[in-house]
A and B are shown apart, each in its own frame.
Chain A
Amino acid sequence: MRRPLTLYGLTFSLPLLIWQLLFFVFPLVFLVALSFWTVKNFRMQPDFDTVNWVTIYGRSVFWQAYGTTLAMAAFAAALVSVLAFPCAYAIAFKLSETARRWAVFLMVIPFFTSYLVRVYSWQIFLSDAGIINVMLGWIGLGPYGLLNTVGATMIGYLTLTFPLVVLLQLFSLVFIDRTLVEAAHNLRCGRLRTVFEVIIPSARVGLVIAALFAFILCFGDFVSPIYLGGGDPTTLSILITDTTKSGQQWPRAAVIALTMIGTLLVVAFAAVRFAYKGRTK
């Protein structure tokens, strides 16, 4: 039922509404407009020309970066979901109430430090003269080129998303009705099978949302691909900075950014739909 807007309601919702208008809707509209501007002699001028869209979409570099970013973000989301689940499961089902509170606290701690700092500290571990290679050297191995690889980017992505995904999964697992688990056991569903037959379906919405968050964060991330992946392969975020740097091509960068926003909207919509599939109020 729709209710009429009251002054009381407006008082609380208006600041947020203004904030959203100022810092989300206006920039987005501007970004759309910008994507139709043209650049002449390193100067942008307002225009309505589809040349940027045609140029960007006509470049194989863009599509390569798009495919890479999509694949890497999707792989990272899947990987972090799989790695985080046993952790979240153990915290939710195996720990005592007090231990669970401590585990949640520990999962929050990574957010105390900047993501950039954490990525830099990974460099200390992964570089050719870094901690890992030195330790491998003691037993006569290496050095291996660990830094500036896709694997290093993945480590960065995990650093970014793992605690968040564990927390999101945890919150959906702790609300599972324990009698459902008992009922499954009672109907001859063994312990491991219960995880797949009952626990994952019960926590499905939370698990999908957690993976979606991981995907969104990785898809737009600039830090890990550049500082741990060494910018190779090129992701969309790297492509945006490259585009702006080369000849003031802000309008072309806007095209890439809008494509990313569009992709995220589609993925988010599909994920939420999948999460709630077969559910009715």
Chain B
Amino acid sequence: MKNDTLVSFEGVVKRFGDFVAVKRMDFEIGKGEFLALMGSSGCGKTTTLRMLAGLEAPSEGMIRLSGKPINDLPTWSRDTPMVWQSLALFPFLNVVENVEFALKMRGVGKAERRRRAEQWLDRMQISEFAGRNISQLSGGQRQRVALARSLVVEPEILLLDEPLSALDAALKVRMQSVLKNLQRETGITFVYVTHSQSEAFSMADRVVIMSRGQIEQIGTPQEIYRTPRTRFVADFLGSSNIFTGKVTASDDGGVVLDTASGPLRLKSDERHVVTPGQTATLTVLDTRTNLAVTKPDGPVNAIPVRMIGEEFIGATATIYLETGTGQEIRVQKSHEELAGIPLEIGQELFAWWAHTDGHLVTED
């Protein structure tokens, strides 16, 4: 991917007065990649996107597009079309005129731009609405017009700022597959800002998780899901059980943490080197955490827990449990995997996981 870098952020900082919206971003976006910028509101993801679009100027650092610095290039001299959260369709133009807009700005002739706009309307399956007013369209149709308007110039990169947030759940899922297919077919690089984990993880090739103006982790959805790098990411994804304790041993044999739930062992990790005496945090996925009636043997961590609740969604059950010290942990399993375990509120059980399933994360 390194040879195929389309965009690079090099030490980019953005300040608004005293407020630092983005603190030193260093990352690259590959050609043809679907990259999601994810984080809660105010984390700097939209500011990052707007700097790429040229709607905000970085306070420090350099943004390159295809190797060329674009810091000083105004947005109207870049080819970085964006799809807004509000869509920002022009209400005084009809559907086909909206799509033609960017071509008109580039001086494409009347007949040619009409032809190209109609091609994109066709591709987005909204050609029957070409002559309509924007106000006469449904949310999903407007979405498609906004996409067609940005894509009609066939850019190298498309920026999307939470474009699906106004849609209802069913439509959201449909538009996700439309977007993913569109990205795959056109090979255009998509940079997609969202606060929704399901949107980011279902569409993106790589996800950038941001918090308070910084990158917490970059990786494929699987990497991030399986091994969250920081405490923030583990908390944000909400799919891990988290234990904090003092390191009592750290060698080739592994790391031992002395937590409120007893000593927990895990394999050492070259990315998170810890020394005895320091505090460290361990995460284990709720799907990798198991339940047993009797304390299991072998290279596992097992802690006594009491069941406090359960939730069934389809074939998966989420069991909520409480440790002796009152910490809540979760176990997510299929019904088959839970066969033979008495699931009653108040039931005393053991939650256990293999030593190899625990990971260290960085504390913030």
Contacts and interface: CB of A to CB of B under 8 A. Distances in A.
Contact of A177 (B55, B88, B150, B153): B88
A100 interface: no
Interface in B67-83: 74-77, 79-82
A279 B81 CA distance: 27
A186 B92 contact: no
A187 to B, nearest CB: 4
Interface in B48-107: 53-55, 74-77, 79-82, 84, 86, 88, 90-93, 101-102, 105-106
A94 interface: no
A273 interface: no
Given A179-B84, A204-B92, A188 B102 contact: yes
A186 B75 CA distance: 5
Contacts of A278: 92, 133
B222 interface: no
A118 interface: no
Contact of A185 (B75, B92, B153): B75
Given A177-B86, A281-B135, A187 B102 contact: yes
Contact of A189 (B55, B105, B133): B105
B136 interface: yes
B149 interface: yes
A182 B76 contact: no
Interface string A182-199: 111111111101000110
Nearest to A204: B92
Interface string A30-55: 00000000000000000000000000
A261 B61 CA distance: 65
Given A186-B53, A280-B136, A281-B135, A180 B81 contact: no
Given A177-B86, A185-B75, A187-B81, 7 more contacts: A182-B55, A182-B84, A186-B54, A186-B55, A186-B82, A187-B105, A279-B92
20 contacts: A177-B86, A177-B88, A179-B88, A182-B88, A183-B90, A185-B55, A186-B53, A186-B54, A186-B80, A186-B81, A186-B82, A187-B101, A188-B79, A188-B106, A193-B105, A197-B105, A198-B90, A202-B90, A202-B91, A278-B92
